[in-house]
Structure 1
Amino acid sequence: MTHRFPIKEVARQSGLSTATVDRVINNRANVSPQTKARVAAAIAELEGQEAQLTARGRRLFFDFVIEAPTRFSREIQKAAEQVLPRIGSAVCRPRFQAQEIMTEDDVTAALSRIAKRGSHGVCIKARDLPTIRAAVDHLIAAGIPVVTLVTDLTTTKRIAYVGLDNQSAGRTAAYLIAKTVGDSAGTVLTSRSQDQFLGEEEREGAFKATLTRQCPNLRVIDASGGSGVHFETSRIMQSVLAGLDQIRAVYSMGGGNMAILNALEHNGSLPDVYVAHDLDNENRQLIEDGRLSFVLHHDLRVDLQNVFQAFLHHHRLTPDPVFTTMSPIQVVTPENIPPQNRCL
């Protein structure tokens, strides 16, 4: 594996030992494919950040621990890479650990490794579970600041939540559906990726309260738990849709929209209106094809810039705190799809 970085630098970026990185670099035996992938990813990150290393300032390492479908975690990493050149007060070096499904043990083990090797800040998207909250507070007690992204861990001592105003998003989805289908009888299908994501829980609560007030004759059926992943979402949808009448609307809070739409089409119950979240590549194609009615979108570049600014302010490298960390909602339709992300 060719590269131009010291082994110690690759080890620090990947979170692995120098001995492990040396085995990978020199193609020695007894190295797992996952370890090779981590080293390759670290080298790619270093290459992507190399241009920024010419900037003057302190060098800071920030860790991202993300449970999300690959399509979304890639959007987060891309947004981080786009905003980094705009940060002039320090050289920020992000390290990413992302999985589509992370158990409690996966998350706590990742945070434990970060606590041992050290970090200037951790940005986390994870479920709101007691063991994860305890691991986050352990990081904070060790002097490592934590920012939550998109979904919050409100009872921890994290320094900021960055992302969408989830309650406002839920109310907006209910408004769009109410204005489209009216207060006639029928079924609205809701879908969250997991029960323990606080952000999606906030969206759902606000959505149901608003829809009940505006359209009391609509009943809500839940089909959650697929983690936004195609196979799991398809399996859950098949069990939920059996025996259901025509579905008037869908509010998808956690992704997996291709799987949901395919299951609805197979069941002969495509809705009048479909509201989804985030303009990732899959949703962009679906709304361009007219299969989604609305996408509630927010600019991840703004979110990631706020993440870095919160960390820099914590380290007293910028005088101004981040006053507003919640992103405004953009309602995207097939008629106003924004162009692909460009640098800010």
Structure 2
Amino acid sequence: MTHRFPIKEIARQAGLGTATVDRVLNDRAHVSPQTRLRVTAAIEELKTQEAQLAARGRRLFFDFVVEAPSRFSREVKAAAEAILPQIGAAVCRPRFLLQEVMEEEEVVAALRRITKRGSQGVCLKVRDTAQIREAAKMLTVAKIPVVTLVTDIGVTDRLAYVGLDNAGAGRTAAYLISRVLGDVPGQVLATRSHERFLGEEERESAFIETLAVLQPELQIIAVQGGSGVDYETSKLLSKAIDGIHDLRAVYSMGGGNRSILSTLEDRGLRAEVFVAHDLDRENRELIFNQRLDFILHHDLQLDIKTAFNAFLAYHGLSSEQRATPVSTVQVLTPENIPP
């Protein structure tokens, strides 16, 4: 079967072998649905980027490995694709591995594949574990720069971290909750998507420390897990909220807010103030309907642009400074949501 793109090109974009791509294109057996989706996505990415191939300059492949709910992964991909036309120093070709849940072994295997096939830069939003750190170090040893997005990895030789000031976000959440509630006792539900995301850990630590100073009468009920995925978040939260009887506020650090709201309402609980993160489609709808009170947001396009600039500077294709200041948190309400 012929195709507008060579099999080698599709294989390189998808991060698969040519034989596997050939089986998919010819609709042969023994191909998983996930593999077919990767090939389909690679072809769509090639179509999107085709116009850039006429541009002058070096061609660079960048890999995005992201563990996040699909609602956030879509925002990452859209932000990357929006930035591409602004880059004149080179033709940049992003490749995306986006999954709602990626176990440690899956991340390590993916980073090993990238190391083997080569890349001009890897952008990571993954858990902070010893094995993942070693796999990231393997990339840097192979002269493949690594940038972490939104959540960092400890003790690595990564090139830069881009994303939100997580500690600042935690302090901001504590300030907002304390100002809304005033000097009253009660309980605050603080949820994280996973215990191994360093960014959420930083948010939680700063939140707990600041709220203890501002409103020491408030008791924090911490819940971790669910990966921000609705079903898993609901199941986990249902087991954890039996001890909640005087709910005053919710600080959701890792998503799954529709599920959190529904689970609480099923138990007859409603917070006086709900602080969430990120202006994705779900949160936009929730705050318009005044089910969320505040969204702590940052400019994801700016973060992705900073990541691309860091990669280009690494390869000597940009004179911009390599310094990558973290994004300042923006407090959004139903009255100031950007279009």
**Residue in 1 aligned with 2:59?**
59
Superposed CA RMSD in Å reads 1.1
Alignment of 1:337 onto 2:328: no
Residue 243 of structure 1 deviates from its aligned partner by: 4.0
**Residue in 1 aligned with 2:255?**
255
**Residue in 2 aligned with 1:14?**
14
Any gaps of 5 or more consecutive residues in structure 2?
Answer: none
- Among all aligned residue pairs of Structure 1 and Structure 2, give the percentage whose two residues are the same amino acid: 62
Kept after mapping to 2: 8 A contact 1:122/1:146: yes
The C-alpha deviation readout for 1:129-164, integer Å capped at 9, x for no partner, is 000000000110011110000000131000100000
Q: Separation in 2 of the partners of 1:200 and 1:327?
A: 15
Q: Separation in 2 of the partners of 1:32 and 1:160?
A: 35
Alignment of 1:113 onto 2:117: no
**Residue in 2 aligned with 1:181?**
181
Q: Describe the shift of the 1:221–1:320 C-alpha distance in structure 2 as closer, same or farther (beyond 3 A).
A: same
Residue 320 of structure 1 deviates from its aligned partner by: 1.5
Residue 2 of structure 1 deviates from its aligned partner by: 7.6
Kept after mapping to 2: 8 A contact 1:160/1:325: no
Kept after mapping to 2: 8 A contact 1:303/1:325: no
Q: Describe the shift of the 1:235–1:91 C-alpha distance in structure 2 as closer, same or farther (beyond 3 A).
A: same
Residue 3 of structure 1 deviates from its aligned partner by: 4.3
The C-alpha deviation readout for 1:20-43, integer Å capped at 9, x for no partner, is 111111112222211111100000
Q: Separation in 2 of the partners of 1:61 and 1:243?
A: 50
The C-alpha deviation readout for 1:52-105, integer Å capped at 9, x for no partner, is 222110000001110000110110000000001000000000000011111110
1:48-127 aligned at under 5 Å gives the runs 48-127=48-127
Kept after mapping to 1: 8 A contact 2:274/2:293: yes
SS at match of 1:327: coil
Residue 323 of structure 1 deviates from its aligned partner by: 2.6
1:37-48 aligned at under 5 Å gives the runs 37-48=37-48
1:187-226 aligned at under 5 Å gives the runs 187-226=187-226
SS at match of 2:63: strand
**Residue in 1 aligned with 2:4?**
4
Opposite residue 278 of structure 2, the aligned amino acid is D
**Residue in 2 aligned with 1:342?**
none
Residue 329 of structure 1 deviates from its aligned partner by: 1.3
Kept after mapping to 2: 8 A contact 1:277/1:297: yes
Q: Separation in 2 of the partners of 1:135 and 1:224?
A: 25
Kept after mapping to 1: 8 A contact 2:161/2:324: no
1:21-36 aligned at under 5 Å gives the runs 21-36=21-36
1:239-318 aligned at under 5 Å gives the runs 239-318=239-318
**Residue in 2 aligned with 1:327?**
327
SS at match of 2:65: strand
Kept after mapping to 2: 8 A contact 1:128/1:197: yes
Residue 321 of structure 1 deviates from its aligned partner by: 2.1
Q: Separation in 2 of the partners of 1:65 and 1:30?
A: 25
Residue 327 of structure 1 deviates from its aligned partner by: 1.2
Residue 270 of structure 1 deviates from its aligned partner by: 0.7
SS at match of 1:61: strand
SS at match of 2:119: coil
SS at match of 2:163: strand
Opposite residue 256 of structure 1, the aligned amino acid is G
Q: What is the TM-score with the length of structure 1 in the denominator?
A: 0.97
Any gaps of 5 or more consecutive residues in structure 1?
Answer: 340-344
Q: Separation in 1 of the partners of 2:204 and 2:5?
A: 47
SS at match of 1:164: coil
4+ residue segments displaced more than 6 Å: none
SS at match of 2:162: strand
Kept after mapping to 1: 8 A contact 2:108/2:131: yes
Residue 299 of structure 1 deviates from its aligned partner by: 1.1
Q: Separation in 2 of the partners of 1:92 and 1:183?
A: 53
The C-alpha deviation readout for 1:168-205, integer Å capped at 9, x for no partner, is 00000000000000121100000000001000000000
Residue 325 of structure 1 deviates from its aligned partner by: 3.3
Kept after mapping to 1: 8 A contact 2:66/2:98: yes
Report how many aligned residue pairs link the two structures: 339
Kept after mapping to 1: 8 A contact 2:160/2:324: no
Kept after mapping to 2: 8 A contact 1:126/1:197: yes
Q: Separation in 2 of the partners of 1:54 and 1:265?
A: 55
Q: What is the TM-score with the length of structure 2 in the denominator?
A: 0.98
Opposite residue 196 of structure 2, the aligned amino acid is Q
Kept after mapping to 2: 8 A contact 1:147/1:159: yes
Q: Describe the shift of the 1:220–1:243 C-alpha distance in structure 2 as closer, same or farther (beyond 3 A).
A: closer
